Amino acid sequence: MRDTLQQPKPSWLKIQLPHGHEWQHVERVLAAHGLHTVCDEAKCPNKGECWGAGTATFMILGDVCTRGCRFCAVKTRRAGLPLDPDEPRQLAEAVKALGLNYAVITSVDRDDLPDRGAAHFATCIRAIHDTSPGTKVEVLIPDYVGPGLIPILGEKPNIVAHNVETVRRLQNVRDPRASFDKSLQTLREAASGGFPTKSSLLLGLGERDDEVLDALKELRSVGVSIVVMGQYLRPTPKEIPVVEYVTPARFDQYARRARELGFSMVVSAPFARTSYHAQQAWDRASARGGV
Ligand code: SF4
């Protein structure tokens, strides 16, 4: 099924509109603390549902990414804005104000900084642990490896997520500084450090079934325990078009294959995103002893 922006989306891609008090509460808290979310910046289709349920995914290190992945709507420039030293405190206070038991933190890429923002990211995790000791923290990080990953792991997040985004052959939709192998290295290092790891694939970019299966096998081979597969939806006309709308039945097939490969948790559905229902994914994986 070929896409253009003019073509109506299939019936299974109906977006839930924003509603309810929780939504307004989330909006007020974020504004009061001057925080960004990937929900807004990446124009996530799940915002109505997630914010309506009182949760959001915080995006730290500014709202300007130094990478230019062709599927992503986050603003991109060669250099980001100066880091806000107050961001960790504001973030921790927002997590507390929202009463989150489970917080998901992601960031833009900051190739313009000597440590690519790893120390600041680590400070943000620590601030949440200090302010809300009972809150679990899932981090969706850039492709930090080696010394770049150590500050993050040192703060003991509950899940370390990093996305390979798509199958090996289609990695050119990512910024040229990213690669499947480098992302596998990030995941391998986090998993071998004893951290539950998670990665996501966007489907509908032209990947074949065998390539999806190969990508899943490679993720398992480096110890990834949670995998998420969701439909790529073109955020604006500036990003690459959708090649195919993957049917719910195929998402189910991929989920079965992933479970056969031994992932402790598989989320595979058109609207699935790394942070979509992240707490439920954690709860189910931990109930099965997988995290
Ligand atoms: S799926 Fe994640 S990024 Fe999208 S709205 Fe929900 S929390 Fe935000």
pLDDT tens track for 207-218: 999 999 999 999
Spatial neighbors of 260 by CB under 8 A, at least 6 apart, are none
Half-sphere exposure of 168 (CA within 13 A, CB side): 11
C-alpha distances (whole Å) from 141 to each of 24, 87, 146, 173, 213 are 28, 17, 14, 18, 24
- Which helix (DSSP H) or strand (DSSP E) does residue 272 occupy? none
Q: 141 with 107: CB under 8 angstroms?
A: yes
Does the pLDDT at position 283 exceed 90? no
Query: Please, what is the average pLDDT of the chain?
Result: 94
Domain boundaries 20-287, CATH class? alpha beta
- Using only C-alpha atoms, the chain has a radius of gyration, in whole angstroms, of 18
8-state DSSP, 114 = T
**217-243 mean pLDDT:** 97
Give the distance (Å) from ligand 1 centre to CA of residue 81. Answer: 23
Report residue 103 as tokens: 């917080």
User: From CA 16, how far away is CA 205, in angstroms rounded?
Assistant: 23
Q: For residue 286, name the pLDDT band (cuts at 50, 70, 90).
A: confident
| pLDDT tens digits, 86-121 | 999 999 999 999 999 999 999 999 999 999 999 999
Pick from 267, 275, 279 the residue to mutate for probing ligand 1's pocket: most ligand atoms within 8 Å of its CB. 275
Q: What is the pLDDT of residue 288?
A: 78
φ, ψ of residue 43 in degrees (nearest 5): 55, 55
What residue ranges do the domains of the chain occupy?
20-287
Q: For residue 273, name the pLDDT band (cuts at 50, 70, 90).
A: very high
- Which helix (DSSP H) or strand (DSSP E) does residue 90 occupy? helix 87-98
Q: What is the pLDDT of residue 2?
A: 47
Q: What is the pLDDT of residue 7?
A: 61
User: From CA 103, how far away is CA 59, in angstroms rounded?
Assistant: 11
**125-132 mean pLDDT:** 98
**197-204 mean pLDDT:** 98
User: From CA 87, how far away is CA 106, in angstroms rounded?
Assistant: 13
| pLDDT tens digits, 187-199 | 999 999 999 999 9
Pocket lining for ligand 1, CB < 6 angstroms? 38-39, 44, 46-47, 50, 56-57, 273, 275-276
Q: What is the pLDDT of residue 18?
A: 65
**121-135 mean pLDDT:** 98
Q: For residue 290, name the pLDDT band (cuts at 50, 70, 90).
A: confident
Spatial neighbors of 102 by CB under 8 A, at least 6 apart, are 55, 135, 136, 138, 278, 279, 282
Q: For residue 289, name the pLDDT band (cuts at 50, 70, 90).
A: confident
Pick from 35, 41, 47 the residue to mutate for probing ligand 1's pocket: most ligand atoms within 8 Å of its CB. 47
Q: 103 with 58: CB under 8 angstroms?
A: yes
Does the pLDDT at position 133 exceed 50? yes
Q: What is the pLDDT of residue 291?
A: 76
Does the pLDDT at position 269 exceed 60? yes
Give the distance (Å) from ligand 1 centre to CA of residue 55. Answer: 8
Ligand 1: which residue has its CA nearest to atom 2? 275
Ligand 1: which residue has its CA nearest to atom 3? 39
Q: What is the pLDDT of residue 265?
A: 95
Q: 1 with 244: CB under 8 angstroms?
A: yes
Burial class (CB in 10 A: 0-12, 13-18, 19+), 158: middle
Residues across the chain: 291
Q: What is the pLDDT of residue 8?
A: 72
AA letter at 63 = D
Give the distance (Å) from ligand 1 centre to CA of residue 127. Answer: 22
